[in-house]
């Protein structure tokens, strides 16, 4: 859980929780989380504009995202080139992606000035994630964010009002800090309703901490952990083993008993998502193509029940190790797409010379 300064928690109250576009050049007051209205439960998808129709921009963005998801250090320079070009072409998801990249210290390509430009543009478009990132960078400080017209608390609250998953969980945690437990629970349940893995994981942890010897309560903790995995939360698959260790200490047996393979398969799936590991793709192998695939943390797993059902069955379904069966049709296609990063970057460079 993130920590917050006292001035972020205690300030003057804001008004209505009704979502509306704001003038980002005007100053919003600090938020008093003791008294502020609960954000309404909204679907963040309702605030997202259509993507531009230029297919090049989407290809560049998807290629950059794949490099990021696989943490492929050999192509980080390509990732920045591809992502920036997609953003320059007007792809709003690429702008949000690049704003975060430009503020990630591990890439050694910090560009807070450009990140601020992107976030201002995206907030004008009412993008929930832009308000969330702005809250984080405003709190972090620096010349390019200290002069933002509104405090971090205002941007964070606006992100939650628009249904941003991280913003909702952060505000829920603040509500807990000021003992507004019902308000926190409403936000988390809203996040779960709209399929946010981070909210389901938060709920799982909260239940497990307070479950004691109540087996039904533990079952709920496992269920929410499972939902977080389906929604693409990177801790969801590994979370089963973590919860199960505590369960075994209390009850002397695995939650999946008598199925001894359940935890093993869950851990195998988790490893298959990790960028530090490779796994075999049976389809590539069958077609005589290079079949070692690097893990990618960016996928949701809507078909997880085909490989790892919940509740744990007595016997797991047969599975040949094909990771793509867990994915949506769109992500399965992306999983099997091999982007020629050098060729795409060369295309961008040539285009820039014309």
> What would the two tokens of residue 230 be?
């389906």
pLDDT by residue for the chain (354 residues), tens only, comes to: 343 433 344 443 333 344 667 898 999 999 999 999 999 999 999 879 999 999 999 999 999 999 999 999 999 999 999 999 999 999 999 999 999 999 999 999 999 999 999 999 999 999 999 999 999 999 999 999 999 999 999 999 999 999 999 999 999 999 999 999 999 999 999 999 999 999 999 999 999 999 999 999 999 999 999 999 999 997 899 999 999 999 999 999 999 999 999 999 999 999 999 999 999 999 999 999 999 999 999 999 999 999 999 999 999 999 999 999 999 999 999 999 999 999 999 999 998 764
Alpha helices in the chain (DSSP H): 6-9, 55-70, 76-88, 92-101, 112-124, 128-140, 143-146, 152-161, 165-177, 181-193, 197-209, 215-230, 236-251, 262-273, 282-286, 329-335, 341-353
pLDDT at 20: 65
Region of residue 296 (left: phi > 0; alpha: psi -120 to 50; beta: else): beta
Q: Which of 193, 213, 212 is nearest to 203 (CA)?
A: 193
Q: Which of 96, 20, 84 is nearest to 51 (CA)?
A: 96
pLDDT at 47: 78
Q: By the 8 A CB rule, do 116 and 143 touch?
A: no
Q: By the 8 A CB rule, do 128 and 163 touch?
A: yes
Q: Tell me the C-alpha to C-alpha distance, in Å, between residue 113 and each of 94, 117, 133, 144, 261.
A: 16, 6, 14, 6, 51
pLDDT at 351: 82
- Pairwise CA distance, residues 151 & 137, whole Å: 11
pLDDT at 22: 81
pTM over 0.85: yes
pLDDT at 118: 99
Domains present along the chain, CATH in parentheses: 30-180 (1.25.40.10), 232-335 (no CATH)
Residue partners of 330: CB distance under 8 A and separation at least 6? none
- Pairwise CA distance, residues 338 & 292, whole Å: 12
Crossing angle (nearest 10°) for helices 92-101 and 112-124: 150
């Amino acid at each position: 859980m993130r920590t917050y300064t006292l001035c972020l928690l205690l300030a003057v109250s804001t008004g209505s929780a009704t979502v509306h576009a704001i003038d980002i050049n005007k100053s919003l007051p600090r938020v008093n989380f003791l008294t502020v209205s609960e954000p309404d439960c909204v679907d963040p998808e309702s605030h997202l504009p259509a993507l531009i129709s230029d297919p090049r921009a989407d290809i560049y963005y998807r290629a950059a995202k794949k490099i990021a998801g696989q943490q492929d250090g050999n192509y980080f320079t390509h990732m920045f080139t591809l992502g920036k070009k997609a953003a320059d072409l007007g792809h709003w998801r690429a702008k949000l992606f690049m704003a975060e990249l430009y503020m990630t210290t591990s890439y050694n390509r910090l560009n807070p000035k450009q990140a601020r430009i992107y976030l201002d543009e995206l907030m004008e478009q009412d993008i929930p994630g832009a308000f969330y990132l702005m809250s984080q960078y405003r709190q972090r400080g620096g010349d390019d964010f200290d002069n933002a017209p509104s405090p971090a608390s205002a941007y964070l609250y606006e992100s939650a009002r628009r249904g941003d998953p991280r913003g909702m969980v952060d505000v829920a945690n603040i509500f807990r800090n000021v003992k507004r437990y019902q308000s926190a629970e409403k936000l988390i349940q809203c996040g779960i309703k709209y399929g946010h893995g981070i909210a389901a994981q938060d709920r799982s942890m909260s239940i497990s901490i307070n479950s004691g010897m109540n087996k039904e309560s533990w079952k709920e903790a496992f269920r929410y952990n499972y939902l977080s995995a389906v929604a693409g939360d990177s801790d969801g698959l590994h979370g089963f083993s973590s919860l199960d260790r505590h369960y075994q200490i209390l009850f002397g047996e695995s939650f999946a008993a008598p199925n001894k393979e359940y935890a093993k398969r869950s851990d195998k799936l988790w490893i298959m998502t990790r960028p530090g590991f490779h796994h075999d793709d049976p389809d590539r192998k069958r077609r005589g193509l290079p079949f070692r695939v690097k893990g990618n943390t960016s996928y949701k797993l809507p078909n997880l029940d085909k490989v790892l059902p919940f509740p744990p069955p007595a016997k797991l379904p047969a599975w040949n190790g094909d990771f793509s069966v867990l994915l949506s049709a769109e992500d399965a296609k992306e999983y099997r797409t091999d982007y020629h990063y050098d060729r795409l970057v060369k295309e961008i460079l040539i285009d820039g010379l014309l």
